[in-house]
Amino acid sequence: MHRKGYAFLSEDELSRRRDQVAAFVANHLRRPLDEPTRAAMLDGIDRCINRLYAQPAGKVNYSNGFGSGGEEWMYLNDRNYFLMFQYHLWVGLMRQPLAPADVQRRDTQRQWMRQYLANLPDRGNREWAPREGMRHDEIRPGALAELEKAFADPLHLLSEPMPDEGFAKLQKRFKGFSNGIWTDFHDMEVAALTSRFISKIDPAGRFGYTYSGKLPFDDTVVDLWANVPHLFFASNANFCGHHGGVSPLYVYDVIRCIEMHAKPAPSPGSPAMDAWLATERRGELTLDGSSLMAVRGAKIAELPVKNWFDADKLSDDQLRTVIRDGGRTRISITRLPSMNGPHRGDRTEGEFFVVVQNRENRLAVIYLHNYQFKYIVFWCRPRTALDTSRPR
């Protein structure tokens, strides 16, 4: 972690994490490690950190599909990634010899995955390469090599057999369609995680789902992300925030970061919408024509910032002052770039930040980054829950 050089991780924070990891290992290590196992664990630790914290310090690129990227994305997801690292470390520390039947199941699954990637038809120039400058003829050998590294890595979930149901689901998906050699390898990694943490629709869940699965620490899984396969934890849900969108058919709850639907959908700002939201006692934003519209007594105002680092430097009192001095119920979104097409990824195409204050005086900061087909796409972070003790 120290080698990453992230500005948001101070020396004191890194020292605290070293102590935390040392205590975690001491608590979960069942027996002393022999030298080959220790070397494999250390190599797995480096690989795990590099997979999770994949963006280099200082990188500015906001084109990851969620209006962010680069070091900023590492900042928002830092707690998710650090907890996910501990989960992978726990998997390695708790490893036990497999029963003969599980060894056979693991080996059968591995051979199937090898053969699948080896025999997958080449999609030509539609094959995705994971790094810039990678030649087309390196994609399949590279994916197969990474698969073998995953099998040998004691921290990687592909080193153990998947549950039968999860592996059958992966096979069914691959028999239906392929997204290309490297992307299908990535989907194998995702399947290894989703087969351990199975989602279930549940309105009581933070983002509308709950998840099965065992964790080695006191937290709750509230989402599962496939890009750099990782879990999204309740303890970071507000700090990180969540992707969102709104159209004239929806209202958005900026505190839970979730869309709200009614059937039939009431018109934006209509008495029917007011009555519905009064009953729900939540919901702050909708789209009315070409305007982002605040509802249920909320106010919105633009913020003169260009990234989440600067947004987080503003205190709650400063945000309330922005609302007091410039709060309104409508902001034009015509300047936003469309979702489709190439983008520069540097927030110079009309993207902007706003602060929302709802009827209950709770705050959220939202970054609006795309608009198309009567739908706004944004990233929402409930600000009243911001952990100001974190390094900025």
For 97-135, write each residue's pLDDT tens digit.
999 999 999 999 999 999 999 999 999 989 999 988 999
Q: Please compute the mean of the pLDDT values over residues 373-390 and round it to a whole number.
A: 76
Pair 135, 173: CB distance under 8 Å: no
* pLDDT on residue 227: 84
Angstrom distance (rounded) from CA 263 to CA 245: 18
Q: Please compute the mean of the pLDDT values over residues 141-159 and round it to a whole number.
A: 98
Q: Could you give the 3-state DSSP secondary structure of residue 368? A: strand
Cα three-residue angle 227-380-222, rounded to 5 degrees: 55
Both structure tokens of 33: 């490690």
Q: Please compute the mean of the pLDDT values over residues 187-197 and round it to a whole number.
A: 97
Share of residues in the chain with pLDDT > 90 (%): 88
* pLDDT on residue 386: 45
* pLDDT on residue 1: 87
* pLDDT on residue 344: 87
pTM score: 0.93
Q: Please compute the mean of the pLDDT values over residues 359-382 and round it to a whole number.
A: 95
Amino acid code (one letter) for 187: D
Instruction: Report phi then psi at 50, rounded to 5.
Output: -70, -35
Is a pLDDT exceeding 60 seen at residue 10? yes
Is a pLDDT exceeding 60 seen at residue 385? no
Angstrom distance (rounded) from CA 283 to CA 259: 8
Neighbouring C-alpha atoms within 13 Å toward the C-beta of 20: 12
Is a pLDDT exceeding 70 seen at residue 291? yes
Both structure tokens of 271: 């008495």
What distances in angstroms separate CA 355 from CA 3, 33, 290, 328, one per listed residue? 35, 51, 18, 11
Res. 388 pLDDT band, cuts 50 70 90: very low
Angstrom distance (rounded) from CA 391 to CA 12: 10
* pLDDT on residue 384: 64
Q: Note the pLDDT tens digit of each residue in 337-355.
A: 998 888 888 999 999 999 9
* pLDDT on residue 340: 86
* pLDDT on residue 391: 38
Pair 380, 284: CB distance under 8 Å: no
* pLDDT on residue 166: 96
The string of DSSP letters for 258-324 reads EEE--SSPPPTT-HHHHHHHHHHT---EEEETTEEEE-TT-EEEEES-SSHHHHTTS-HHHHHHHHH
Q: What is the mean pLDDT of the chain?
A: 94
Q: Please compute the mean of the pLDDT values over residues 176-202 and round it to a whole number.
A: 96
Is a pLDDT exceeding 50 seen at residue 242? yes
Is a pLDDT exceeding 60 seen at residue 389? no
Angstrom distance (rounded) from CA 223 to CA 233: 7
Q: Please compute the mean of the pLDDT values over residues 327-338 and round it to a whole number.
A: 96
The string of DSSP letters for 65-112 reads SSS--HHHHHHHHHHHHHHHHHHHHHHHHT--PPPHHHHHHHHHHHHH
Cα three-residue angle 267-268-273, rounded to 5 degrees: 70
Q: Note the pLDDT tens digit of each residue in 19-67.
A: 999 999 999 998 899 999 999 999 999 999 999 999 999 998 888 888 8
